[in-house]
């Protein structure tokens, strides 16, 4: 399979993992390992002075893992720039999952602020991977602003509803000159496989793995789905017929009757 | 003197951010510090003088997607 390259870094795995909602750090670490991922998101929180020992980072970090700090919690571009600076300082990476979703009900990204923040952060030397609406025009603007990827949503965060934006994702993938990572809404390995078959460069999955009955087995299932979907894309899928009229795949000579 | 750390009042003898990080026994890696909403790079911690009433934000990693 073709390797994925983002900002000059090669990735063998096309599955990115979020670290939220796992029952324990140990389980999260096992799921990360089982998924084969090389890119893992991490959020930020204020240190509690009476609980300084809680350290999720050591369960995530590894030589093969690119940390992808996110800006979750910010409401506009200005706050995102501040969060990005804090993340770069804390985690020693200039990679950033830019997410600006001021609305707590649907957690939908604010396109205006996301574009504004992308422009500023790219100038500041960040490798920006913006979580964004599945809006082909916006994705072009983000690309022009210097985003390293675009990360359009399949459905709202944590809903597991799959590729509700499927047709727009197709347009985005067709037009993009940067990798397209489908983020949010992927709830089952079949959703991830579908995104990859469509030509997405990668999938970012969190909830579907973290809340599964067996997160480690689910991580493995997603790994296989992403690989299968990518392999199918590279192999070239057969055309889908417009009607239900069958096309025989066996010879129709009536050999029994003659 | 009294300063605020993450909106909580803290009595400290530390005269710099570096001394405060030491006093609070914070991990050296995986944290970032801002004073009055401006990030202070680690290299500047030792020289950054704390003053009464300053408000610091100290963050670290959390689980998230």
Which pLDDT does position B29 carry in this prediction? 80
Question: What 3-state class would DSSP assign to A132?
Answer: strand
Residue B59 at interface with chain A, using a CB cutoff of 8 Å: yes
Compute the C-alpha angle A211/A173/A95, nearest 5°: 60
Report in angstroms the alpha-carbon separations of A63 from A5, A93, A237: 17, 13, 35
The DSSP code for A42 is E
A46-55, A96-105, A152-161, B55-64: least confidently modelled range: A46-55
Rounded CA separation A122/A114 (Å): 12
Rounded CA separation B20/B4 (Å): 12
The DSSP code for A11 is E
Rounded CA separation A217/A76 (Å): 37
> What average pLDDT is seen over chain A?
94
* Domains of chain A (ranges, CATH numbers): 4-235 (3.20.20.70)
Distance from CA of B3 to the nearest CA of A (A): 14
Q: At a CB cut-off of 8 Å and minimum separation 6, what does A105 contact?
A: none
Which of A22, A43, A49 lies closest to B5 in CB terms? A49
- Is the domain spanning B2-60 CATH 3.60.15.10? The answer is no
Report the share of chain A in percent with pLDDT over 90. 84
Whether residue A124 has pLDDT greater than 90? yes
Whether residue A53 has pLDDT greater than 70? no
Cα-atom radius of gyration of chain A, to the nearest Å?
Answer: 20
Q: At a CB cut-off of 8 Å and minimum separation 6, what does A81 contact?
A: A117, A120, A121, A124
Rounded CA separation A206/A16 (Å): 8
- Tell me whether residues B32 and A87 touch, CB distance under 8 A: yes
Residue B26 at interface with chain A, using a CB cutoff of 8 Å: yes
Residue A23, both tokens: 């029952």
């Amino acid at each position: 399979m073709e390797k994925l390259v983002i900002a000059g870094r090669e990735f063998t795995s096309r599955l990115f993992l979020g670290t939220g909602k796992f029952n324990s750090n140990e389980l999260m670490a096992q799921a990360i390992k089982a998924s084969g991922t090389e890119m893992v998101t991490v959020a930020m929180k204020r240190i509690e002075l009476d609980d300084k020992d809680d350290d999720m980072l050591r369960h995530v970090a590894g030589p093969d893992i690119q940390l992808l700090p996110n800006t979750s919690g910010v409401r506009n571009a200005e706050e995102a720039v501040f969060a990005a600076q804090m993340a770069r300082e804390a985690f020693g990476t200039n990679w950033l999952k830019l997410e600006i979703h001021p609305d707590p009900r649907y957690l939908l990204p604010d396109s205006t602020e996301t574009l504004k923040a992308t422009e500023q952060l790219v100038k500041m030397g960040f490798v920006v991977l913006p979580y964004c609406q599945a809006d082909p025009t916006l994705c072009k603007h983000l690309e022009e602003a210097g985003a390293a990827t675009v990360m359009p949503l399949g459905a709202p965060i944590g809903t597991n509803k799959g590729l509700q934006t499927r047709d727009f994702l197709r347009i985005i993938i067709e037009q993009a000159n940067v990798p397209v990572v489908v983020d949010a809404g992927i709830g089952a390995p079949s959703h991830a496989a579908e995104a990859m078959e469509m030509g997405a460069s990668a999938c970012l999955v969190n909830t579907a793995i973290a809340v599964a009955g067996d997160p480690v087995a689910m991580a493995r299932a997603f790994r296989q789905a992403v690989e299968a979907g990518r392999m199918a894309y590279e192999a070239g899928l057969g055309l889908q017929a417009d009607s239900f009229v069958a096309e025989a795949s066996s010879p129709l000579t009536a050999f029994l009757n003659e | 003197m009294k300063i605020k750390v993450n909106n909580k009042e803290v009595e400290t003898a530390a005269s710099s951010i570096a001394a405060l990080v030491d006093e609070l026994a914070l991990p050296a890696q995986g944290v970032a510090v801002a004073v009055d909403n401006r990030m202070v790079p680690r290299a500047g911690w030792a020289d950054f003088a704390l003053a009464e009433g300053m408000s610091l934000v100290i963050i670290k990693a959390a689980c998230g997607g």
